[in-house]
Structure 1
Amino acid sequence: MPEAPQLDTVAKAAGSPDSPQPFAELGMKDDEYARVREILGRRPTSAELAIYSVMWSEHCSYKSSKVHLRQFAEKAPRNDALLVGMGENAGVVDVGDGYAVTFKIESHNHPSYVEPHQGAATGVGGIVRDILTMGARPVAVMDALRFGPLDAPDTRRVLPGVVSGISFYGNCLGLPNIGGELGFDSGYIGNPLVNALCVGVLRHEDIKLAQAPGPGNKVVLFGATTGPDGIGGASVLASATFDEESHAKRPSVQVGDPFLEKLLIECSLELFAADLVVGIQDLGAAGVSCATTELAAGGTGGMRIELDRVPLRDSRLTPEEILMSESQERMMAIVSPDKLSAFMDVCAKWDIVATVIGEVTDVTPEEAERGGRLVMTWHGETVVDMPPRTASDEGPVYERPIARPSDQDALQADTPDQLPRPANDAELRAQLLRVLAAPGIADPSWVTRQYDRYVLGNTVLATPHDGGMVRITDDGERGVALATDGNGRYTRLDPYTGTQLALAEAYRNVAATGARPHAVTNCLNFGSPEDPGVMWQFAEATRGLADGCRELGTPVTGGNVSFYNQTGSTAINPTPVIGVLGVIGDVRDRLTSAFPADIDDARLYLLGTTRDELGGSAWADVVHGHLGGLPPAVDLTAEAALGRVLSAGASLNVLAAAHDLSDGGLAIALAESALRGGVGCTVDLTGDPFVALFSESAARVIVAVAPTADAAFQETCDRHAVTATRIGSIGGDALRVRHATGGFEIPLTELRTAYESTLPSVLDGE
C-alpha cells in the first residue's frame, strides 16, 4: 500500500477554497458543514463531504433520536442472557445449551413506495445481512406492513409489489416467513411502512463484531460488484457539483439478487467456521462509507483504502459514487495476512468476487485522540484523510424542540362513549361480521400464501397463529418464538401508553405460543423530527418502551428509527412496531390459536379482566370511523403473570389452545380460533354483551382446556394470581353467543365468507 498522503495533497483534492460546496443539497445544515471544516482543519474534499453527509444523516446517525434512545440502556433490566446489546448490527441473546440467537427489525419504507418490489426485497436482504454479520445463520424472517385503505389506487399499486418483493427475496434465500402484521389506514397513503425482521442462530463462541483490529490486517470487499444503484436514495447524493450526466436516470432504489445473497451467506458461514475473519461488516446504507468508518472506529482507528481497487460494474463511477453506492449483497471483512489465501479460496469456491482494497493501519496517540485516521486514494490521488470516529460515532446530536400537539387534548376528550352502540342482537351480530371482514383484521392469506413458511423444515408455528416459532437446530427440540405488534391508533391517542400496549401485545403473543418472552427489538416509525409535536410523540413512545421493558424484564437489544414518514405536512400516526423474542425448551409443547376439534367437551376460559375500553378500538374505527379518547389501560404486572400462566400451562400440558385478545376484542378472537380449528363454540356472556365482545382491554387471552386438565389449569392460574373465567365450551359448527336477555349465532360458513373474502375481492385483479 502507498504511504499515507500529506495534508497539502488532500487540500489540493478539495478544490478552490472559494468555490461553493453542495452541502445543503446533501442534506447538511450550515453548522454541520462548519463542524466538518473544523474537524478537518480545512475544506473537505468532495469524497469527505459525501461521507460526512450520509454518515451524519438521520438514517445513519440517529442524530434526532439518540438523546431518547439512551434510556433503553440506562433503564435496561438486569438480564444475564444478553450477550450483545445495542450498538452492533443486531443484539444477541443466550437461549441455552450453548446456543444464542440474534434478531433485529428495520424499516425500508420510502424505497418501498418509490419501487415497491425492489424496495421491499432489498429490505429483506439488508436485515438478513445484519444477522449474518453477527456470525449467525439466518433461520427465519417476518414483516410488519402498513398501507393506505385497501381500495385506494396507491395501495393497489404498492401492496402487491411489496408482497412480491418480500416473497421473491425470502423464498429464493430459502428462509421461512413465519409471521408479522398487515394493517391499513388512510394515514399511510403515500407512505407505507415496510418493516422487516430476521432471526439467526449461532454458538456463543461464534459471535462476530464490526471491528478492524490489528495493523497490517487486510480489508477485503467481497460479494457483488459495485454499481450506481441506491446512490440517489438513502445517501441523498444529488448535487450539481457531482457529475450531473453520470447521475441521469439512475435508480434511487437498490436492486437485489437473492441468489447471490444465498451464496454470500454460505460463503460467509464457511469463512466464520474456519476462523478466517477478524472483523466483519455488511454494506447497507452508505455502502463503503459506512463499512470503512465503522470498522475503523471499532478497531485501531486506522485504515487505508484504495478506491480504484473496488470492483465496479460501471466504470464511470466517481469516488463519491463508489463511497455512496448502496449496491446489495456486499460484505467487508478484516483478514490477517496469513489467512488471506485461505479466505480467497473459500470465496472462489462459492464464486464470490473478493478483492483486497486496503489494510488496517496503526495510529499515533495524537491521531487516536482525534478519532483515528482513515485514508482513501483514487488512482494515486488522496481523496479522503479524516478521523473515522468523527463520522461513525461523533456526529451531531440534537435535542429537538418538543411540544404536546395542540389537538391532543381535544382528541383525548373525544371519547367513543357517545357513539351509537348495537341496539339489539341483530345489530351486534352484523357489527361482529363487519369488524371481522375489515382490512387489517380479515384473513391476510392473500399476502401470506405467497411466502414459504416451512422451508428448512424447522418451522413449528407460523401465520396465522399468534407468534412464529422455529427449532434452533435440526436435531433438537429447543426453539424460539417471535411476534411483532404495533397500533398506530393507540399511539396517536397516547404515545406512552400506546407503545406499552404494543410491547404488551407482542409479549402476550409470544407467551400464547407457550414460550417465555426474553428480549425486545423495535422499529420506531414517526413523522418529521423537525415537528415538535412528532418529537413529543417520539419522546413519549421511547419513554414508554424503556419503562415497559424495565418492568417486564425484557432488554431492548437494538432496532431502528424511521423518521420523515409523512405526506406533505401530514405525518403518519406514530407507529412503533415492537418485536419480542421468546424461548421454549421443547417445541412439542407449543400452543396454537386453533380451537381443538379432537377434545370432547373442551372448556373455554377467558384469562384477565374486561372493562369498558373502546378508545382507539377496531369497533370504533370500522363501524364509526372514529378515533378519540384514551387507549386501554396498561397493566404490565398482569401481562407478566399471564405470560407465566401460559408458559407453565404449555409445559405442563394443561392447555389445548391459546389466543390473545387485541384488535376487535373477544368477538374476533373467538371467530379466528373457531375458523382456524374448524370447530365452533358456545359462550355465555355476563354484563353488557357489547362490551364483553368488543372491548380491547389488555392482558387477556382465551384458552381451551380439556376436562381432564381443568383442575391443574385452575391451580396454575391460582398460583400466578390470574383470573380465569369459564365462558363456554368448544363444539358444533357455529359461533353461538348467549347473554342474559338473548343471543345470536353465526355459522362457521358465514364467518369464513366474511373473513376470507375481503383481500381477494380487491387484490385478485392486481
Structure 2
Amino acid sequence: MSLPDTDYDLIHDELGREPTPAEDVLFENLWSEHCAYRSSRPLLSAFDSEGEQVVIGPGDDAAVVAVPLHDGDDETYITFGIESHNHPSYVDPFDGAATGVGGIVRDTLSMGAYPIALADSLYFGDFDREHSRYLFEGVVEGISHYGNCIGVPTVAGSVDFHEGYVGNPLVNVACVGLTTPDRLVTAEAQEAGNKLVLVGNATGRDGLGGASFASEDLAEDAETEDRPAVQVGDPYTEKLLIEANEDLIDEGLILSARDLGAAGLGGASSELVAKGGFGADIDLERVHQREPNMSALEILLAESQERMCYEVAPDDVDRVAEVAEKYDLGCSVIGEVAEGNYVCTFDGEVVVDVPPEFLAEGAPMNDLDAETLEPQERALPDAELAEAFEAVVGSPTTASKRWVYRQYDHEVGVRTSVGPGDDAAIVALREAGTGLALSSGANPNWTSANPYEGARAVALENATNIAAKGATPLTAVNCLNGGNPEKPEVYGGFKGIVDGLADMCRTLSTPVVGGNVSLYNDSVSGPIPPTPTLAMVGTKAGYEAPPATFAGEGTLLLVGEAGGALGGSEYLAKTGGTDRFPGLPANPAAVVEALADVANDESTLATHDVSHGGLAVSLAEMVTADSGAEVELADEIALFDETPGRAVVETTDPDAVYEAFDGVAPVTELGSATSDGELTLTVGGEELGYDAAAIADLRDVIERELE
C-alpha cells in the first residue's frame, strides 16, 4: 500500500480491522492526490464559483451554466468541464491523449448533455528535441483521431514549447456540452433500491492503477514500466455511447450517472452513492468482462474506457438494456443503491465493506510548506532588432499552429462560426440565438517569472481573447498543473497560480465553476512550470465576429495599457536577460467590456489581442497576401511587451474607439493598414520590412520542420 502509515492507521481505526486487498487498492486510488486533491483542496476555496448563471458548480462531473438568450425564450444550458491526461500522454502519447478526450466527453454525457466543442491546451519540451516532437506528434494524432471519430469538433486550444516540460508534457482537454433543464442529470444517487447499471465497453485490464500512477513523479523508466496504467480508447464505441446516452436521457430512463474514469468502477460507483448519502450492494461478477479470470481488484480498478454507470429505476432496467443492445453496447445490472455501507462481493465473498463517504471524501488534507519566488530584476539584452523580431515571430510557441488544428475536424456539427487560429472560437447556439466564444490556454513563461501575476495575466488574456470577438465572459473552468507539492518552492508556485487565477476571475466577475488539479508533474529533468490552464466561455448576440487579419483599409489603434516591462516574454526567452513582470490594468473588467463593444461596432474591420510575443507577433499574424500595415513604435519594449488586456483594432471610425475607451484605458494610434501585403515597422527610428511570404515562412516553422 503506497499510502502513508498515518492514512493506513486512520483506515484501520475507521473499519475496526485490517482492510482487505481490494479495499487497500480502493483507498490507495481514491485517496490519491489525483482523486482526493489532498494538497490542493485547501487552496481551492479561493475561487468564486457562484453566480446567477451557475446551475451546478464544482463537485459534479461537469458544471452546468445557463446561457443568456438573445433570440427565443427556451432555456438553454451548457455543461463545461476540463481534465488532464499528463502522465499517460508521456508514457503513450497517442492513447494517453485520445483517452483524455474520451474521458472529458463522458463527463459531459453524465450530466445529460450532448458534446458540441472541445479545446485542447498542450505543453511540450523544447521543439528542437527529437523526443519532444515525438510526444507532440503522438498527442496531436491521438486527439485528432478520437475527436474526429466521435464527431465532436475541436475548435480552440493552445500549444506551448518550454524546457520545463521536457520530462513531463501536459495534455489539458476541455469540453462544452449542450442540454436543457428537463434533460439535466447529476452524479447524485436518488433512492435506495434503484439499480446500478453499467453500459458500454467490456471491462479489461487496461488502465489499472491509473489514479495512483497520476499521483507520483514520473520515473526514468516510466515509458515501459507504467504502460499498463495507460488506458486504450475505442472512439467508435464512444460514439455509440454518445448516441445511446441521448436516447436514455430523451426517454427519462437515467436518474443519476457517472462516467468511469479515474479509479474505474470503484471510483465511479462509490462516489455516485456517497454523493447522495447512500451505500451500494455490488456483485463484481456481474460486470461484463473482455478478459478471463479477472480478480475483484482488477474489476474494481481497471480504467477501461467508454463505460458509464447509471442509476435506473427497477421498472426501467429492461428498456435500458434494449437501448444498449440497439447500439451494440454491453449492459450489466451490477447491483443497487442501498442504505449503509458500500459493499462489493466476488465469488460469494465480501471483498469491500466500507462507509462510502469515508472512502470517497475521507482522505485527510496535506499541510505543506510554501516558498515564494523573488521577483526578477531588470537585465535586458542588447539584441539586434531584426534578429529578435524573427526569433520571436518564428518561435514554435508563437508561430502558426495550423499544422495542429488542420488535423482536427472543427466543422463537424455545423455550429462552428469562428474556428481555430483566431483569438477565440465561436460556436453557434441556435437554440438561444447566442454565439458562444471559447478560449483556452496558459503561458508558462509568465507563471515561471511570477506565478501570481502570471496567473492573473492568463485569466485576463483569455477574457481579452473572448472580448476581441465581441463576446463578454460568462464562466470558466481551470486545470491547475504543478510539480511535486512536497517541495516548498513548487508548492509556493502552485499556491501563487491558484490565488492569481482566482483574483483575476473574481475581478472579471467570471465564476470558476469547475476544474481539475494535476500535481506530481515532476521527472528526472525537474518539475514543470506552474501551469494554470484556463478555459473560458463568453456569449454574444449572433455568431459573427471581426476577423483577426487586416482588411487593408482602416486606421490601426492599440487599445489597452502597456505594462512597460518584458518579464515572462518570448523576447527574453529567445535573447536572454531578465525583467520584472509587467503591470496589469487597474480596471480589467472595464477594458474587457469596452473591447467587446468595439469589436461589435460596424466600423471595426479587424481585432486581434496582444499577448504571446507582443505586438511583433500580433501584427505578423494580421498580415495577409492582400493586406499589410505601416506601424511606428517608440522602442523594443513597445514591440515585445506581452501585457494582456490589449488589442489591435483596425477601424474606419477611430473616434468611436477613443470614445469607447474614454476613462477606461489608453488608445494609441499605431499607423494604418495597407493593401500591399507588406508589414513595415519603424521601431525607435529603425525600420524593418517583411512581405506576407516572408512572414509566412517565419511562422510556418512547425509545419516546415515536421513535414
Residue type at the aligned position of 2:64: V
| Residue matched to 1:425 | none
Conserved? CA contact 1:190–1:567, under 8 Å: yes
How far is 1:653 from its partner? 2.4
Q: Does 1:376 align with 2:376?
A: no
Query: Which of the numbers 568, 585, 594 marks the counterpart of 2:549?
Result: 594
Tell me the alpha carbon deviations over residues 82-125 of structure 1, each in whole angstroms, 9 at most, x when there is no partner.
Answer: 11111111111111241111112211111001001000000010
* Secondary structure of the structure 1 residue equivalent to 2:661: helix
Conserved? CA contact 1:549–1:556, under 8 Å: yes
| Residue matched to 2:616 | 667
| Residue matched to 1:43 | 18
Query: Which of the numbers 549, 558, 576 marks the counterpart of 1:606?
Result: 558
Q: Does 1:437 align with 2:394?
A: yes
* Secondary structure of the structure 1 residue equivalent to 2:311: strand
Query: Which of the numbers 395, 398, 403 marks the counterpart of 2:366?
Result: 398
How far is 1:416 from its partner? 3.4
Tell me the alpha carbon deviations over residues 682-719 of structure 1, each in whole angstroms, 9 at most, x when there is no partner.
Answer: 1133x32x12211222321101112xx4443333233x
Structure 2: runs of 5 or more not aligned? 70-74, 216-223
| Residue matched to 1:369 | none
C-alpha separation in 2, matches of 1:648 and 1:634: 21
How far is 1:485 from its partner? 2.3
| Residue matched to 2:35 | 60
Conserved? CA contact 1:522–1:558, under 8 Å: yes
Residue type at the aligned position of 1:461: V
Conserved? CA contact 1:130–1:282, under 8 Å: yes
| Residue matched to 2:413 | 456
* Secondary structure of the structure 2 residue equivalent to 1:79: coil
Q: Does 1:469 align with 2:447?
A: no
Conserved? CA contact 1:521–1:580, under 8 Å: yes
How far is 1:233 from its partner? 3.0
Conserved? CA contact 1:211–1:299, under 8 Å: yes
C-alpha separation in 2, matches of 1:376 and 1:583: 46
How far is 1:237 from its partner? 12
Tell me the alpha carbon deviations over residues 187-217 of structure 1, each in whole angstroms, 9 at most, x when there is no partner.
Answer: 1112111111111111133221102221111
| Residue matched to 1:526 | 482
| Residue matched to 1:234 | 211
C-alpha separation in 2, matches of 1:416 and 1:131: 48
Residue type at the aligned position of 2:229: S
1:641-656 equivalent positions in 2, closer than 5 A: 641-656=590-605
Tell me the alpha carbon deviations over residues 292-315 of structure 1, each in whole angstroms, 9 at most, x when there is no partner.
Answer: 111111224121000000011112
Conserved? CA contact 2:91–2:226, under 8 Å: no
Structure 1: runs of 5 or more not aligned? 1-22, 239-246, 364-372, 423-427
Query: Which of the numbers 619, 641, 649 marks the counterpart of 1:695?
Result: 641
Q: Does 1:168 align with 2:145?
A: yes
Residue type at the aligned position of 1:700: R
How far is 1:678 from its partner? 4.2
Q: Does 1:762 align with 2:686?
A: no
| Residue matched to 1:717 | 661
C-alpha separation in 2, matches of 1:150 and 1:253: 25
Conserved? CA contact 1:416–1:614, under 8 Å: no
C-alpha separation in 2, matches of 1:202 and 1:448: 27
| Residue matched to 1:728 | 671
| Residue matched to 1:277 | 254
Conserved? CA contact 1:228–1:250, under 8 Å: no
Tell me the alpha carbon deviations over residues 559-591 of structure 1, each in whole angstroms, 9 at most, x when there is no partner.
Answer: 111111122272111111111111112113x23
C-alpha separation in 2, matches of 1:526 and 1:282: 25
1:69-468 equivalent positions in 2, closer than 5 A: 69-72=44-47, 75-76=48-49, 79-97=51-69, 98-236=75-213, 251-363=228-340, 373-404=341-372, 408-409=373-374, 412-417=375-380, 419-422=381-384, 428-468=385-425
C-alpha separation in 2, matches of 1:88 and 1:198: 14
Moved more, 91-100 or 317-326: 91-100
- TM-score calculated relative to the size of structure 2: 0.95
Aligned in 2, Cα 1:739/1:327: closer, same or farther, shift over 3 Å? closer
Conserved? CA contact 2:481–2:519, under 8 Å: yes
How far is 1:468 from its partner? 1.2
Q: Does 1:486 align with 2:442?
A: yes
Aligned in 2, Cα 1:237/1:377: closer, same or farther, shift over 3 Å? farther
C-alpha separation in 2, matches of 1:760 and 1:421: 27
Tell me the alpha carbon deviations over residues 471-520 of structure 1, each in whole angstroms, 9 at most, x when there is no partner.
Answer: 123x6641211111211122122211111011111111111111111111
Tell me the alpha carbon deviations over residues 562-621 of structure 1, each in whole angstroms, 9 at most, x when there is no partner.
Answer: 111122272111111111111112113x23211124xxx311110012243111111111
| Residue matched to 2:221 | none
Aligned in 2, Cα 1:739/1:302: closer, same or farther, shift over 3 Å? closer
Aligned in 2, Cα 1:61/1:534: closer, same or farther, shift over 3 Å? same
Residue type at the aligned position of 2:421: P
Aligned in 2, Cα 1:302/1:697: closer, same or farther, shift over 3 Å? closer
Tell me the alpha carbon deviations over residues 534-573 of structure 1, each in whole angstroms, 9 at most, x when there is no partner.
Answer: 1111112211222222111111111111111122272111
* Secondary structure of the structure 2 residue equivalent to 1:416: coil
Residue type at the aligned position of 1:220: V
C-alpha separation in 1, matches of 2:686 and 2:241: 63
* Secondary structure of the structure 2 residue equivalent to 1:432: helix
* Secondary structure of the structure 2 residue equivalent to 1:271: helix
Aligned in 2, Cα 1:388/1:739: closer, same or farther, shift over 3 Å? closer
Residues paired across the two proteins, number = 693
C-alpha separation in 1, matches of 2:481 and 2:225: 31
Tell me the alpha carbon deviations over residues 227-271 of structure 1, each in whole angstroms, 9 at most, x when there is no partner.
Answer: 000014334599xxxxxxxx9997221000001001101101111
* Secondary structure of the structure 1 residue equivalent to 2:537: strand
Tell me the alpha carbon deviations over residues 128-164 of structure 1, each in whole angstroms, 9 at most, x when there is no partner.
Answer: 1111111111001111111111121211221111111
C-alpha separation in 2, matches of 1:557 and 1:311: 35
Tell me the alpha carbon deviations over residues 439-475 of structure 1, each in whole angstroms, 9 at most, x when there is no partner.
Answer: 11111112211111111111011221001111123x6
Query: Which of the numbers 585, 588, 593 marks the counterpart of 1:635?
Result: 585
C-alpha separation in 2, matches of 1:232 and 1:698: 41
Residue type at the aligned position of 2:144: S
Conserved? CA contact 1:524–1:577, under 8 Å: yes
Conserved? CA contact 2:258–2:268, under 8 Å: yes
How far is 1:50 from its partner? 1.1
Conserved? CA contact 2:167–2:525, under 8 Å: no
* Secondary structure of the structure 2 residue equivalent to 1:521: strand
C-alpha separation in 2, matches of 1:759 and 1:237: 30
How far is 1:361 from its partner? 1.4
Instruction: Give the fraction of aligned pairs with identical amino acids, expressed as a percent.
Output: 39
* Secondary structure of the structure 1 residue equivalent to 2:604: coil
| Residue matched to 1:681 | 629
Residue type at the aligned position of 1:629: D
Query: Which of the numbers 618, 626, 631 marks the counterpart of 2:570?
Result: 618
Conserved? CA contact 2:214–2:520, under 8 Å: no
